[in-house]
Structure 1
Amino acid sequence: MGQTVIKVDQQTLDRIEKHYANNKTNKQPPHTVFVAKQNGCTITAYTSGKIMFQGATHAEEASHWDVNPETKKKQHTISSASKEVLSLDHIGSDEAGTGDYFGPITVGAVYATEKQQALLRELGVKDSKSMNDKTITSIVKDILKTDIVYSTVTLHNERYNKLKQKNWSQVRMKAWMHHHAIQHVINKLDSTKHSGIVIDQFCEPGVYYNKIKASNDTPHSNITFLTKAESQSTCVAAASMLARYRFVQEMDKLSKKVGFELQKGASNKVDQQIKRIIQTKGEPFLDEIGKVHFGNTQKAKKMQS
Structure 2
Amino acid sequence: MSNYVIQADQQLLAALRAHYENALSDRLPPGALFAVKRPDVTITAYRSGKVLFQGKAAEQEAAKWMGEQGADPAKRQRRESTSPPLEHRLAKLSAIGSDEVGTGDYFGPIVVAAAYVDRSHIANIAALGVRDSKQLNDEAIKRIAPAIMKTAPYAVTVLTNAEYNRWQRSGMPQTKMKALLHNRTLAKLVDAIAPIEPEAIIIDQFLERDSYFRYLAEEDCIVHERVHCLPKAESVHVAVAAASIIARYVFLEEMERLSRTTGFPLPKGAGAVVDEAAARIIRLRGEEMLETCAKLHFANTKKALAIAKRR
TM-score, scaled to structure 1: 0.72
> What is the distance in 2 between the residues matched to 1:129 and 1:101?
17
RMSD: 2.3
- Indicate the residue corresponding to 1:228 in structure 2: 232
Offset of residue 218 of structure 1 = 2.9
> What is the distance in 2 between the residues matched to 1:124 and 1:76?
38
| Superposed counterparts of 1:31-42, under 5 Å | none
| Superposed counterparts of 1:29-108, under 5 Å | 73-74=33-34, 82-83=86-87, 84-108=89-113
- Indicate the residue corresponding to 2:167 in structure 1: 163
Quick check: 1:135 aligned with 2:140? yes
- Indicate the residue corresponding to 2:253 in structure 1: 249
- Indicate the residue corresponding to 1:35 in structure 2: none
Quick check: 1:190 aligned with 2:194? yes
- Indicate the residue corresponding to 1:264 in structure 2: 268
Between the aligned residues of both structures, percent identity stands at 39
Offset of residue 219 of structure 1 = 4.2
CA displacement, residues 67-124 of structure 1 (integer Å, 9 cap, x when unaligned): xx979933999xxx94322211011100011100000000110111112121111111
Quick check: 1:281 aligned with 2:285? yes
> What is the distance in 2 between the residues matched to 1:165 and 1:71?
34
* Contact preservation (8 Å) 1:71, 1:206: no
* Contact preservation (8 Å) 2:187, 2:223: no
- 1:199 aligns with one of 200, 203, 207: 203
Q: 1:72 to 1:176 in 2, by over 3 A?
A: farther
Q: 1:76 to 1:289 in 2, by over 3 A?
A: farther
> What is the distance in 2 between the residues matched to 1:197 and 1:74?
19
> What is the distance in 2 between the residues matched to 1:230 and 1:76?
27
* Contact preservation (8 Å) 2:186, 2:223: no
Offset of residue 260 of structure 1 = 0.8
CA displacement, residues 20-60 of structure 1 (integer Å, 9 cap, x when unaligned): xxxxxxxxxxxxxxxxxxxxxxxxxxxxxxxxxxxxxxxxx
SS in 2 for 1:248: helix
Q: 1:89 to 1:197 in 2, by over 3 A?
A: same
Q: 1:125 to 1:284 in 2, by over 3 A?
A: same
- Report the more deviating stretch, 137-146 or 276-285: 137-146
* Contact preservation (8 Å) 2:96, 2:198: yes
Q: 1:123 to 1:298 in 2, by over 3 A?
A: same
> What is the distance in 2 between the residues matched to 1:230 and 1:75?
27
SS in 2 for 1:137: helix
- Indicate the residue corresponding to 2:123 in structure 1: 118
Q: 1:118 to 1:273 in 2, by over 3 A?
A: same
| Superposed counterparts of 1:13-32, under 5 Å | none
SS in 1 for 2:206: coil
* Contact preservation (8 Å) 1:255, 1:261: yes
Aligned-partner residue type, residue 133 of structure 1: D
> What is the distance in 2 between the residues matched to 1:75 and 1:285?
48
Structure 2 stretches lacking a partner, 5+ long: 1-28, 38-84
> What is the distance in 1 between the residues matched to 2:106 and 2:119?
37
Runs of 4 or more, structure 1, over 2 Å off, are 69-77, 214-219
Aligned-partner residue type, residue 235 of structure 1: A
> What is the distance in 2 between the residues matched to 1:156 and 1:91?
24
TM-score, scaled to structure 2: 0.71
* Contact preservation (8 Å) 1:75, 1:205: no
> What is the distance in 2 between the residues matched to 1:287 and 1:224?
35
* Contact preservation (8 Å) 1:75, 1:206: no
Structure 1 stretches lacking a partner, 5+ long: 1-68
Q: 1:270 to 1:72 in 2, by over 3 A?
A: farther
Aligned-partner residue type, residue 134 of structure 1: E
Offset of residue 216 of structure 1 = 4.6
> What is the distance in 2 between the residues matched to 1:75 and 1:200?
23
SS in 2 for 1:94: strand
